[in-house]
A and B are shown apart, each in its own frame.
Chain A
Amino acid sequence: MKKNNPGNIILHFCLMMTFWLILSGYYDIFHISLGVISVITVLWFNAKLRNYIFYDEDEQHKSKTFRILRLCYFFPFLIWEIISSSFKVAYLIIHPKLPIKVGIIKFRTNLPNMVAKVLLANSITLTPGTVALQIEGEELIIHSLTFEKDEAHIDHSLTEEVAKLYGLSEEIVVSHEEIISSEDKL
């Protein structure tokens, strides 16, 4: 995969230039030319880093397109989840008896690529009572704070939302669920 094509470089240049313009606050020729020089220097420093492959990606999943319009639904959903989860955690912390039930959940997903998995793990950390512990290949390990003992299935609405970002709504995303709720099963 070639990352050094001109379109990519121009996109990076524009992104860093807007960042410079926002942070500097001066809009005369001198300061803007200073910004252009530093952005080009940074691009030159990072030329080798762009060809470095940080992770392996399956060939079959590369063609999956990212649906940008769906983000307009995803971000308000995520912000609502953050607010509700903070209220839940606040309730658990203030409650004098600390009514927490710890459980560790393992499951597999077939999300298309690494970016989707990172997005999922990052949003899991921000949503009700769960922190992502580990991602290895297709397997995710999650630490849960409020876990009901009789609950056979965990709420996977977040995983489905991330899958919908890639247009995967019909396929099965979650499989091989496993719940550890005591020390000796670990």
Chain B
Amino acid sequence: MESFIIFISISLTIIIIIPFYRVLKGPTVFDRLLGAGAIGTKTVVLILLLGLLFKRLEMFIDIALAYAILSFISSLIVAKYFSTEKAKE
């Protein structure tokens, strides 16, 4: 079971690398933001799996929850910022 969780964690790490292409090469700002958001949501799961591996899930769940809330709020604020930026012009 443990080796299976390690396998899933490694494959998730590889999956997380893929949207980096979009973050680096996105034609617009929003593409970069989208890539960053995709990385954030996947990292939550990676933190949970690490908690299982270290056998301290109760601590890592709190960290994952805080991380999810932070990434959600940051994406909301950045979206708000860019929608007001246009209105000023």
Contacts and interface: CB of A to CB of B under 8 A. Distances in A.
Does more than half of chain B's interface fall in helix, strand or loop, or is it mixed? helix
Interface residues of B, number: 3
Contacts, number: 3
Interface of B: 58, 62, 65
Chain A interface residue number, banded: under 10
Interface of A: 23, 25
A25 B58 CA distance: 9
Nearest to A24: B62
Contacts of B58: 25
B59 to A, nearest CB: 10
A121 to B, nearest CB: 14
A31 to B, nearest CB: 14
B23 to A, nearest CB: 19
Nearest to B61: A23
Nearest to A23: B62
Contacts of A23: 62, 65
Contacts of B65: 23
